[in-house]
Structure 1
Amino acid sequence: MKRGATREEIILATQELISRNGIRAVRVDEIAQRLGISKRTLYEMFADKTDLVYACLDEMSQQQQRRIAACRKRHGGNSLQKAFKLVHEYIDGLFAVESSFLADIRRKVVFAEHFDEHRDFWHSELSRYLELCRAEGFLLPEIDTATLADRILDSLFELRLNQITREEMYLFCRTLLRGAATRQGIEQIDRK
C-alpha cells in the first residue's frame, strides 16, 4: 500500500469521483482505494466525508473564480459579447460535472452554503455584465438586470438537471437575451 497521499491528491481524486458519480454515490473506501491509501490515512487529514467534500467544493470554487478572472482578461468586445461569453463559461461549468453531482449539491442541506456561494458568485458576475449591457443600450431600459440574471442562471441549472444539451442551453440563453434586447442589442445578437 502506498505510504500516503497529499491533501491535494486526495482532494483531486475525490473531486474527479464526485464530479462524475455524484456525492452520494462516492464512498470513502472508494477514494482510499483509488489512491492506494488506508481510510485511516484519509481520516488523518479529513474529519469525515463531509469535510472532504467541503474541501473539494472550496477547490472547485477557487478554480472557477480563476477561470472567470482569466476570462475577463482575455475577452475583448462589448458588454453583450462579454455577457454571452460569461454565460458560456457557466454552461461549460455545468457540463464539467454530471447532473447527479449538481442535484446532490442543491438537495443536501449540509452543502447549501456552498451552493448559495456558487450561485451568488455567478449572479454577481452576470448581473454586472447585464447592467453594462443596459447602460450601453443593448438591453431595454426597463429590464431589471438582477432578475434577468436570476432567470438565466436558474433556468440553465434546471435545464442541465433535465439533461438538455449544451447547444439547446446556448440557444435558450440567446433567445432569452434577445427578448430583453433593444434593436441595437438584437442586431448584435443576430450577428453571432
Structure 2
Amino acid sequence: MKRGATREEIIRTTQELIARNGIRAVRVDEIAQMLGISKRTLYELFADKNDLVNTCLDAMNRQQQQRIAACRRRRAGNPLQRIFRLANEYIDDLYRVDHTFLSDIRRREVFAGRFDGHRMSWHKELVTGLEACREQQLLLPDIDPEAFADRLMSTMLELRLNGSECEELYFFCRTILRGAATKHGIDLIDRNT
C-alpha cells in the first residue's frame, strides 16, 4: 500500500467522493487511482464497493451523532430556540452532501437501512424538543410532536432533493414552526430569530 493510503484515508477519500458525487457515480477504480493504490489493495481491506460505502456511511453516522450531541449540550435559550438550532443543524446536514447522495442512499435497498437510522436519530431529537415546546405551551396543544417532526423532516428532504437553496429551508422551517406555535411561542420566535 502506498504510504499514507491507510484504511482511514481510503474511508475519508471515499466519503468525500460519495458526498460530492453520489454513491452510484463513484467507482472503485477512481478511488484507487486518487489514492495511488491498486484495486487489489483496496479489495484486501474491503470486500466490495458496498462494504466500503457502508463503512463510510458508518463514519458519517458517527459524525452526525457528534453534531446532534453538540446541539443537545447547547441548552441555552427556550425550547423553541433549541428546536431552531437542531432543525438548522439538520438542514446543514442535508447540504453537507450532494442531493444525488441523498437520493442514492434513500433508494438503494442495500443502504436504505443506514438512511433510516440516520433519519431516526434526527427525528428522535426533534420529537424531544417539540415535546418540551408543547409542555411549555409554546406549540399548539393539538400538535403531535412525532407526526410534526416526521412531516417537517420529510418535506425538508424533498425540498432539498428538488433543488431548494439552504436558506429557503431555513425560512420554510421558521414559517412552519411559527404556524404551529401559540401566541407566546410566536412572540418568542419573532423576538429571537
TM-score normalized by the length of structure 1:
0.97
CA contact (8 A) 2:130 2:145 kept: yes
Q: How does 1:102-117 map to 2 (within 5 A)?
A: 102-117=102-117
CA contact (8 A) 2:137 2:182 kept: yes
CA contact (8 A) 1:19 1:101 kept: yes
| 3-state DSSP of counterpart to 2:63 | helix
Q: Could you list the per-position Cα deviations for residues 145-185 of structure 1 after superposition, in whole angstroms to 9, with x for gaps in the alignment? A: 00000011000100000110111101111111111110011
Q: Could you list the per-position Cα deviations for residues 94-133 of structure 1 after superposition, in whole angstroms to 9, with x for gaps in the alignment? A: 1100000000011111111001101111110100000000
Query: What residue in structure 2 maps to residue 159 of structure 1?
Result: 159
Query: What residue in structure 1 maps to residue 21 of structure 2?
Result: 21
Which consecutive residues of structure 2, in runs of 5 or more, have no partner in the other structure? none
Separation of aligned partners in 2, 1:4 and 1:66: 26
Query: What residue in structure 1 maps to residue 47 of structure 2?
Result: 47
Separation of aligned partners in 2, 1:188 and 1:152: 20
CA contact (8 A) 2:68 2:122 kept: no
Separation of aligned partners in 2, 1:50 and 1:85: 34
Separation of aligned partners in 1, 2:3 and 2:169: 45
Matched, 1:100 2:100: yes
CA contact (8 A) 1:3 1:37 kept: no
Separation of aligned partners in 1, 2:122 and 2:110: 21
Query: What residue in structure 1 maps to residue 56 of structure 2?
Result: 56
CA contact (8 A) 1:24 1:104 kept: yes
How many residues are matched? 192
Kindly report the root-mean-square deviation, in angstroms, between the aligned alpha carbons of the 2 structures: 1.1
Which consecutive residues of structure 1, in runs of 5 or more, have no partner in the other structure? none
| 3-state DSSP of counterpart to 1:40 | helix
Of 64-73 and 106-115, more deviation after overlay is shown by 64-73
Cα deviation for residue 2 of structure 1 reads: 2.1
The one-letter code of the counterpart of 1:189 is I
Separation of aligned partners in 1, 2:48 and 2:3: 20
The one-letter code of the counterpart of 2:62 is Q
Matched, 1:125 2:125: yes
Segments ≥4 residues shifted beyond 4 Å: none
Query: What residue in structure 2 maps to residue 181 of structure 1?
Result: 181
CA pair 4-189 structure 1, distance change in 2 beyond 3 A: closer
| 3-state DSSP of counterpart to 1:71 | helix
